[in-house]
A and B are shown apart, each in its own frame.
Chain A
């Protein structure tokens, strides 16, 4: 319950200030600026440079307002300020009277609009921003209908800087939103303001690209047509497109998006559009930032290899067939195998990008109809033990960034490149509130590093031991300090400071752990250690495991994996290739061929599929995995179906169909319903996917208050406004957290304490001293080889070239710099990589993002030694020069 004595806009403890805006008495808290108070009270003040998620620049001068202040030397009578002041930078004071629409304010707005239009070209018919442009709108609302400008306008040459972002400097009004976004949110100083005076222009340093996974957001931030999307360039006008609120299938942070479609084709994907001034638009003041993969890669369903008709094997050929016929073949095929070899000879593999409804029906089909536990979604883990550890982690997940935190411990991980929006929100929270981040492990997130108060590197395999000792230290055991200092190679005083910090957190704390297989062979040790650590820290501490797989949490919740007590009796995803080869599994149903593609040993799995008696797959594309199927079921893509997804924080989001089904493709819940019904089940009588949702939620979360429809509107999940948890929000009216949060659902926090024994925590063996190479750690990268991303129209611009991260200490030893090339020898194979020197990996360790450039990482051990040799970039340049000469 909110405290009744406190104004709803404030939190208890805030200093309250009363002021008057346009004659209405309003309340703000000390330190707030006029523009944010006015925005909360629905007084719109025009602005360009001010953005709620960015720092105040105060350079567009459009938000000038008239201010009257009480004059203490004249009996506190109101006296006007001699000059108008900018609302974005002027803090509120007691008794202040603000006029946003007085004659003076209007004259100021008109004057500033005229200044801004002095050099702005009037090419709105050509400009892609037309229709969602702040300058266009303001010149209608606040500008004058004529121009006094007679001189030629300023013109710049157009740079070819970024492959995804088009920079048209003539249209720039120098608001510097893009520069501040890159500096503050994306964390890379890549954009800047160049030249002086009226020659000012926006650009990137060295004409380089804005190479960041969040770079696409500067397109939405730009209030004019200076930064526009290259893939969307001139494709359509924004008012012609149909907007559908949906969610990303790439980002497990739960990013919400809007798909913009026309005639069944996806034109662009943006953060959710919201209603401003009667129109749904995305451009203005959006605080919801999405990653580039979601933004530019979501159009894969229109790839030329799309098979939108179901197919069945006829002799040697896979021929198009009606959907009902294909479903009948699958049902009879599965039944035949089950009758001949028993139900446990069948297995169902579910893609981690399937919706929760699909996962629920798949496990219901496996358990209730077929009668087997052979169902799994956990395909991307290196080992079965790592998958089990992940299940344990999910079972204890209970944190949500939205609640805020007073300290956060970040364990091994590259969070920016596995859950980008989540990492961004975490960093923004730490940056704006100053709450400490502590990074512990053999790999730190370089993105979070500038805002991390403590960073402790240890050798690979020692993280579990370090956490066990830290748990003891937090419990009051001071004898562990020296041992911890040895593991972290640091002074005892820093370790003591860390323990003091952790013990001093009275409110909420958060422990983050990446299950991203970052040398995932260690997960069976690290997950119990982390859980025991959370338990030792006390009740205020929460735990969030992160995984790149979009719906991992949701599929875990619906039980689309073997039950814990069925271990040994069932076949999980990691044992599948073995089981097929030794004849245990005779029939396989795969929902989404990416489940096969993302398996670490996919070549072996693909080869083994030929030994199956019956193999059915539901997918979108003509690919290696579908061509050999007995039955191919054409599935609806993420643009064509409805469903529910769960993110790493356990919150639900709706996937929504944009313009209906394409060709003969059908959503997978219809297939599963059909298969189960033909196999003789009566419990699959679903009319719509909403029926499935209702039944599923009644099983997994009976207390859930939201509805299927409300989920569409629920929450901005990638919203930076959580930087002020529990405080004033701009979107409060739009949603209610109860609509999507699953707190208290019984698939979440089990509450059982986890103990860790010394054997589990024991450090893994490290190569003998004298070894002159590096230890390799690796993790999945969201811009790497990906079944769906491979079918996107601009995949070559979205996938990154292979690179390795290197500690600055090692870089000095090798004489390497960021941007140098190197060769990496893994298991006798040599790969050419780019070097990135950052504070990510520990000294003596290199971190390799998996999947980039086709580097194979199967068959590695947990302490893999590699050799890295540096080829200096100037040496390459000289060689290149020699070649051309």
Chain B
């Protein structure tokens, strides 16, 4: 009987110790700490850039065509020498995704011939107004102010790709693959 009591106490003490040293916790201090998502997670969309800051999206509308819930609207325009936005001749002047319509199926990511649109890891999709659910191009576009190498820390939507885990691949993971 005493043995059983000691066994039980040891288990309780072990968990208490683990809790104190922070080992094996399941709950997180959300929102200060965010859960890392697996690489295949289909969260909020991102529009990627090339290493030199040009947008990957050429405004071909294939994502809009494949979208089963018709959540994507875009209008293209032509690049000029003064205003070079994307790497091709055309770029998306208006790019909107209606996040209330979106079912996060990832077809847009698959259809994209330029790997411009990808499903990010952000699952924080609560808004105050219905109109805020229409994500504009600037809401989704990766920031360009800092160079490509360390832009991840500026990306509020990415948690599964950290700068540490991306150290080997300098720059755009897709671009690096293509080069080799």
B130 to chain A, nearest CB (A): 20
What residues on B are CB-neighbors of A236 within 8 Å?
Answer: 61, 75-76
A125 touches B58 (CB 8 A): yes
Q: Is the CB of A125 within 8 A of B113?
A: yes
B86 to chain A, nearest CB (A): 9
| Chain B residues in 8 Å Cβ range of A205 | none
A240 beta carbon closer than 8 Å to chain B: yes
Report Cα–Cα, A124/B64, bound state, in Å: 16
> What distance in Å separates the Cβ of B64 from its nearest Cβ neighbour in chain A?
7
**Inter-chain contacts of B78 with A (CB < 8 A):** 233-234
CA distance A130 to B65 in the complex (A): 13
Whether A234 touches B64, Cβ cut-off 8 Å, given contacts A125-B113, A126-B88, A126-B89, is no
Q: Does A123 contact B (CB under 8 A)?
A: yes
When the two chains form their complex, are residues A125 and B88 in contact, meaning their CB atoms are under 8 A apart?
yes
Once the chains are docked, how many angstroms separate the CA of A125 from the CA of B60?
A: 5
Per the bound structure, the CA–CA distance linking A636 and B127 in Å amounts to 41
Q: How far is the CB of A261 from chain B (nearest CB, A)?
A: 14
A236–B76 CA distance with the chains assembled, in angstroms: 7
In chain A, what residue has the closest Cβ to B62?
A125
Identify the closest chain B residue to A233 (Cβ): B78
Contact indicator B60/A130 (Cβ below 8 Å): yes
CA distance A126 to B75 in the complex (A): 13
For residue A308, give the distance in angstroms from its CB to the closest CB of chain B.
23
Which residues on A sit within 8 Å (CB–CB) of B120? Answer: none
- With an 8 Å Cβ cutoff, the count of chain A residues facing the other chain is 12
In the docked arrangement, what's the CA distance between A125 and B113, Å?
A: 7
Please determine whether A125 and B65 come into contact, CB atoms closer than 8 angstroms.
Answer: no
Q: How far is the CB of B133 from chain A (nearest CB, A)?
A: 20
Question: Of residues A234, A236, A240, which shows the largest number of chain B Cβ atoms within 10 Å of its Cβ?
Answer: A234
Does A196 belong to the interface (CB within 8 Å)? Answer: no
Residues of chain B in range 52-110 having any CB-CB distance to chain A below 8 Å: 58-62, 64-65, 75-78, 88-90
Residues from chain B with Cβ under 8 Å of A146 in the complex:
none
A235 interface residue (CB < 8 Å to B): yes
User: A235, B76: Cβ atoms under 8 Å?
Assistant: yes
Say whether B114 contacts A125, CB under 8 Å.
Answer: yes
* Closest partner residue, chain B, to A263 (CB atom): B73
B88 touches A123 (CB 8 A): yes
Contact B90 A126 (CB under 8 A): yes
A722 to B174, CA, bound (A): 55
* Distance, CA A684 to CA B1, complexed state (A): 104
CA distance A74 to B170 in the complex (A): 73
Q: How far is the CB of B59 from chain A (nearest CB, A)?
A: 7
A236→B77 CA distance, assembly (Å):
9
A234 touches which of B90, B113, B114 (Cβ 8 Å): B90
A239 close to chain B: CB less than 8 A: yes
Tell me which residues across on chain A come within 8 A of B75, comparing CB atoms: 235-236
A237 at the interface (CB under 8 A from B): yes
Contact call A240/B77, Cβ cutoff below 8 A = no
B124 to chain A, nearest CB (A): 31
The docked-state distance in angstroms from the alpha carbon of A123 to that of B58 is 10
CB distance from A292 to the nearest CB of B (A): 22
A234-B77 contact, Cβ under 8 Å, with A125-B113, A125-B114, A240-B61: yes
Residues of B within 8 A of A126 (CB): 58, 60, 88-90
A125-B88, A126-B88 known; A240+B114 contact, CB < 8 A: no
Tell me which residues across on chain A come within 8 A of B60, comparing CB atoms: 124-126, 130, 237
| Bound CA–CA A124/B61 (angstroms) | 11
Cα A234 to Cα B113 in complex, Å, equals 17
Given A125-B88, A126-B88, A126-B90: A234 touches B61 (CB 8 Å cut-off): no
For residue A168, which residue of chain B has the nearest CB?
A: B89
User: B90 contacts A237, CB within 8 Å?
Assistant: no
Q: Mark A495-534, 1 if CB is under 8 A from B, else 0.
A: 0000000000000000000000000000000000000000
Q: Min CB distance, B84 to chain A, in Å?
A: 14
CA distance A233 to B77 in the complex (A): 8
The minimal Cβ–Cβ distance linking B61 to chain A, given in whole angstroms, is: 4
Give the CA-CA distance A240 to B64 in the complex, in Å.
9
| Distance of A239 Cα from B63 Cα, bound (Å) | 13
A136 CB to closest chain B CB (Å) equals: 13
Nearest CB on B from A157, distance (A) = 14
Q: Which of A124, A126, A235, A237 has the most CB of B within 10 A?
A: A126
Complex CA–CA separation, A237 to B60 (angstroms): 8
CB of A147, distance to nearest CB on chain B (Å): 16
CB-CB under 8 A from B77, the residues of chain A are 234
Collect the chain A residues with CB atoms within 8 Å of residue B62's CB.
Answer: 125
Shortest beta-carbon distance from B13 to chain A in Å: 63
- Complex: A235 Cα to B99 Cα, angstroms: 24
- Bound together, the chains give a CA A253 to CA B88 distance in angstroms of 41
CB-defined contacts of B114 to chain A, threshold 8 Å: 125
- Chain A residues within 8 Å of B90, by CB: 126, 234
Our pick among A123, A124, A234, A239 for the contact of B76 (Cβ within 8 Å) is A234
Please measure, in the bound complex, the distance between the C-alpha atom of A126 and the C-alpha atom of B86, giving whole angstroms: 11
CA distance A91 to B90 in the complex (A): 45
* Minimal beta-carbon separation of A389 from chain B (angstroms): 51
Please determine whether A234 and B88 come into contact, CB atoms closer than 8 angstroms.
no
Cβ of B113: which chain A residues have Cβ within 8 Å of it? 124-125
Provide the bound-state CA to CA distance between A126 and B61, in Å: 10
What is the chain A residue whose CB lies nearest that of B76? A234
User: How long is the Cα–Cα vector from A239 to B61 in the complex, in angstroms?
Assistant: 10
A559–B89 CA distance with the chains assembled, in angstroms: 54
A101-137 contacts to B, CB under 8 A, are 123-126, 130
- A239: chain B residues at CB < 8 Å are 65
A221-235 vs B, Cβ < 8 Å mask (1 yes, 0 no): 000000000000111
CB distance from B41 to the nearest CB of A (A): 26
Q: Measured between C-beta atoms, what is the minimum distance from A281 to chain B in Å? A: 15
| CB of A196, distance to nearest CB on chain B (Å) | 28
Instruction: Assess the A237–B89 pair: CB atoms within 8 A.
Output: no
B58 touches A237 (CB 8 A): no
Most chain B beta-carbon neighbours within 10 Å: one of A235, A236, A237, A240:
A237
Q: With A and B bound together, what is the CA distance between A236 and B61 in angstroms?
A: 8
Q: Please name all residues of chain A whose beta carbon is closer than 8 Å to the beta carbon of B59 when the two chains form the complex.
A: 234
User: In the complex, what's the smallest C-beta–C-beta distance from A320 to chain B, in angstroms?
Assistant: 28
A235 to B74, CA, bound (A): 10
B71 to nearest A CB, angstroms? 14
**How far is B33's CA from A781's CA once the two chains are assembled, in angstroms?**
73
Which residue of chain A is the closest to B64 with respect to CB atoms? A240
Report chain A residues within 8 Å CB of B58.
Answer: 125-126
With CB as the reference atom, state the residue of chain B lying closest to A125. B60
User: How far is B89's CA from A237's CA once the two chains are assembled, in angstroms?
Assistant: 15
A112 to B88, CA, bound (A): 28
Q: Within residues 233 to 281 of chain A, which ones have a CB less than 8 A from any CB in chain B?
A: 233-237, 239-240
Q: Which residue of B lies closest to A123 (CB)?
A: B88
A237 CA to B66 CA, complexed, in Å: 13
Distance between Cα atoms of A130 and B62 in the complex (Å)? 10
Partner of B61 from A123, A233, A237 at Cβ < 8 Å:
A237
4 further contact pairs, Cβ within 8 A, besides A125-B114, A236-B76, A240-B61: A125-B60, A233-B78, A234-B76, A234-B89
Q: Can you offer 10 A-B residue contacts whose CB atoms are under 8 A?
A: A123-B89, A124-B113, A126-B58, A126-B89, A233-B78, A234-B77, A234-B89, A235-B75, A235-B76, A236-B61
Rank and list the top 8 A-B pairs by shortest CB-CB distance, nearest first: A125-B60, A237-B61, A234-B76, A126-B88, A234-B90, A125-B113, A234-B78, A126-B89
